[in-house]
Amino acid sequence: MLAQERLIARVEQLCLAEERLVAALTYGSFVHGEADAHSDIEFWLFFDSRAKAMLDERAWLDTIGTIRYSVVNEFGSHVVFFPDLVRGEFHFATAEDITAVMAWPARSGPSEQMIVLDR
């Protein structure tokens, strides 16, 4: 099992347990079955708007596992590096932002592979 697959399973576990989360999606090479040992993991996390306003995003990320480096990029996404240089990209948004999913490029992936949580 790849390190990324263990991290993906951990994020999915956290999403299912996170009551403030309205929806969670993953995308990228793992969704398409094209991932390898150098692939990153990518998630959109949609929180209740009140919960999102009070959310400590970095603390949430720390529950996934050891983070070696973290930065918020120019788009407001958290880019983190886990051990073995596994890169993760996490977008924290509100439930109201979920309509933006419709504007994603067609290559986002099959919805049944992308949906982690949909309340």
Mean pLDDT, contiguous 10-residue spans, the chain (119 residues): 96 97 94 93 96 97 97 96 96 93 74 91
Residue with tokens 């983190």: 80
What is the pTM (predicted TM-score) of this model? 0.93
Cα–Cα nearest to 10, from 116, 119, 84, 87: 116
Which pLDDT score is estimated for 100?
84
Strands 69-72 and 41-47: unpaired
Which pLDDT score is estimated for 74?
95
- What are the b/e assignments for 9-35, b being 16+ CB within 10 Å? eebeebbeebeebbbbbbbbbbbeeeb
Local structure of 43: helix, strand or coil: strand
